[in-house]
A and B are shown apart, each in its own frame.
Chain A
Amino acid sequence: SAVISQKPSRDICQRGTSLTIQCQVDSQVTMMFWYRQQPGQSLTLIATANQGSEATYESGFVIDKFPISRPNLTFSTLTVSNMSPEDSSIYLCSVTSGETQYFGPGTRLLVL
């Protein structure tokens, strides 16, 4: 399995600001994903972070709101832009290792 770290682990932000979340993996992986888990709900896929090309976004998520970078096979960032209280969630990155998908520790975001 892969070891995944995320920074920051948590943050409190003011509405209208942006936050960039980093995801680092201890080995090169092909697939990296970003998920959101709103309070009391399950995980929803935001996008697939593609190395060397634009991310692939799921329905309901757009690049202007959630820009993603994937400069290499071990690192990705997700930015939550122009935040509102509705963006308060846990944001998780995940990677595939073999056929299985593993999750990072998550970033707990509170927007005031």
Chain B
Amino acid sequence: EDKVVQSPLSLVVHEGDTVTLNCSYEVTNFRSLLWYKQEKKAPTFLFMLTSSGIEKKSGRLSSILDKKELFSILNITATQTGDSAVYLCAAQTSGSRLTFGEGTQLTVNP
């Protein structure tokens, strides 16, 4: 059975802190690893990673994939209160099916 595990499940930080969110996966027919940010209803796409060791970056957010260790991290530097959200990672397998982790609830306090 495909499985995606995220840690920590919950994280509270102060504005300006740097956070690292973790995602490990065990899936069959892995194609890519996706990160989403969910604030209210719809998850918003952040990154898609297909190759090991290549960092993807967007502003203060960055992510990298390790296909040997079956692991990905999402880094957020200089956190802001607007970064407060649930961050979801998902493993994409054949047929474009996504298996999601439980999510990390990030709270950034002023």
A contact set with B: CB distance below 8 Å: 1, 31, 33, 35, 41-45, 48, 56, 90, 92, 94, 96, 99-106, 108
Q: Given A1-B45, A43-B43, is A101 in contact with B88 using a C-beta cutoff of 8 Å?
A: no
Instruction: Choose from B32, B41, B99 the contact partner of A99 (Cβ within 8 Å).
Output: B32
A100 to chain B: closest residue by CB? B48
B contact set with A: CB distance below 8 Å: 31-32, 34, 36, 41-45, 48, 50, 88, 90, 92, 95-103
In the bound complex, CA of A82 to CA of B56 (Å): 45
Among A42, A90, A103, find the residue whose CB has the most chain B CB atoms closer than 10 A: A42
Closest CB of chain A to B81's CB: distance in Å?
A: 22
Closest CB of chain A to B6's CB: distance in Å?
A: 9
Q: Given A101-B34, A101-B92, is A42 in contact with B100 using a C-beta cutoff of 8 Å?
A: yes
Whether the Cβ atoms of B34 and A103 lie closer than 8 Å is: no
16 A-B residue pairs with Cβ-Cβ distance under 8 Å, sorted by A, are A31-B96, A35-B98, A43-B98, A43-B100, A44-B100, A48-B95, A92-B42, A99-B48, A100-B34, A101-B92, A101-B96, A103-B42, A103-B43, A104-B42, A105-B41, A108-B41
Instruction: Choose from B31, B88, B92, B95 the contact partner of A43 (Cβ within 8 Å).
Output: B88
Instruction: Choose from B31, B32, B50, B98 the contact partner of A45 (Cβ within 8 Å).
Output: B98
Among A43, A48, A102, A108, find the residue whose CB has the most chain B CB atoms closer than 10 A: A43
In the bound complex, CA of A10 to CA of B80 (Å): 30
Whether the Cβ atoms of B101 and A102 lie closer than 8 Å is: no
Please give, as numbers and ranges, the residues of chain A lying within 8 Å of B32 by CB-CB distance. Answer: 99
Q: Given A41-B102, A42-B88, A42-B103, is A100 in contact with B97 using a C-beta cutoff of 8 Å?
A: no
